[in-house]
Amino acid sequence: MASEMRIIGLRGLPDITPGLDLATAITEAVKTQGLTLGSDDGIDDGIDDILVVTQKVISKSEGRLVDLRTVTPSPFAEQFALKYDKDPRVVEVVLRESRRIVKMDQGTIISETHHGFVCANAGVDESNLKDEGTVALLPEDSDLSARKLRSAIGTLTGYEPAIIISDTFGRPWRDGLVDVAIGVAGMEALRDYRDLADTEGRIMKVTAVAIADELASAAELVMGKLDKVPVALVRGYSYTKGEGGIGQLIRPPEKDLFR
C-alpha cells in the first residue's frame, strides 16, 4: 500500500450539456491545472491514476434528462404525491426507473434500480440542473459509461486512467450521505483479504473491502456539492488493475439478509 495519496479536484470544466465531449473537457481541465495523467507526481513511481467522475455530469453528457412536461403520472403516483406533497411527475419517473419498490414511507421511495442499486428515488435527481422542471436519471449502463470515458481519454492522451463514476447514497443504519461507486472501469472494485492472515496470523474469512466506494467517498471531500467540481484525480493509490465493474459490489439476492 502507498504511504500517501493525493486527491485533486479538477476545476474549470464547462457546463455539461447533452452531447458534450466529456473526455476532452476533463483532459483540458487536467492540463489547465498543470497536471499530466499518468505522472507519478513524485509520490510513488509506478502507481496509476484514477478519475472519479460524478454521475450527474455523465448523465448530462449522455442526455439522461427528462422534461417533466412530457410526463403523465399514473393514478398511483398521483395518490402518493398528494399524500406527501410531492410532484406526481417526479414520482412517476421514479417508478419507471425502478424494477422493485423496497419501501415507500414518509414521502420517500426506496427502490431497486434496473442496475441493481438500492437507493432513494431510483437515483432520480433534481439538483444542479439549470432547467427547472427537468430531472436527471442514472446512466443506462454506468460501467459502460466508465469504459467509454476511459477509452476516450486514452485516445486523447495515450494513457487510460481507472474510472469511478460516483453518486450520493444514504445509509440504512447511519445518518448522513456518502458518495459511492455506481460505475467502475480499469480497476477491481473490491480488495479481497479472505484466506489471508491478519497481523496476528489468523486467517480472515469475510473481509473484502469496497475500494471503489472508499475512493468515491474520499473524492467527494474535494468535490463537494456546491463547488462545481464534478471530477477528482486520485493519485498515489495502489489498486489492482482489471476489467472491474459495479457488479462486484452488488450483493446477490441469495446473500441479502434484508431483502
Q: What share of the chain is helix, strand, coil (3-state, %, to 5)?
A: 30, 25, 45
Give the containing element (helix H, strand E) for 132: none
Q: Where are the domains of the chain?
A: 6-63+139-250, 68-136
Residue-wise pLDDT tens for the chain (259 aa)?
Answer: 667 889 999 998 999 999 999 999 999 999 999 999 986 555 555 568 999 999 999 999 999 999 999 999 999 999 999 999 999 999 999 999 999 999 998 889 999 999 999 999 999 998 878 778 999 999 999 999 999 999 999 999 999 999 999 999 998 889 999 999 999 999 999 877 555 556 656 665 666 789 999 999 999 999 987 778 999 999 989 898 988 899 999 988 888 887 7
Cα within 13 Å of Cα(239), Cβ side: 31
CA distance 95 to 111: 8
CATH of 6-63+139-250, one of 1.10.540.10, 3.40.190.10, 3.90.1150.10, 3.30.1330.100: 3.30.1330.100
Establish whether domains 6-63+139-250 and 68-136 are of one fold: no
DSSP state of 70: G
* Residue whose grid cell is 439549470: 130
For 44, 68, 128, 256, the CA distances from 233, given in Å and listed in that order, are 15, 34, 21, 33
Q: Which CATH class is domain 68-136?
A: alpha beta
* Residue whose grid cell is 421511495: 109
Cross-strand partners of 165: 53, 183
3-state SS of 153-207?
A: HHHHHCCCCEEEEEEEEEECCEEEEEEEEEEEECCCCCEECCCCECCCCCECCCC
Give the list of residues 6+ apart from residue 114 with CB closer than 8 angstroms, or none: 97, 98, 99
> According to DSSP H, which parts of the chain are helical?
22-32, 55-61, 75-84, 88-96, 142-157, 211-223
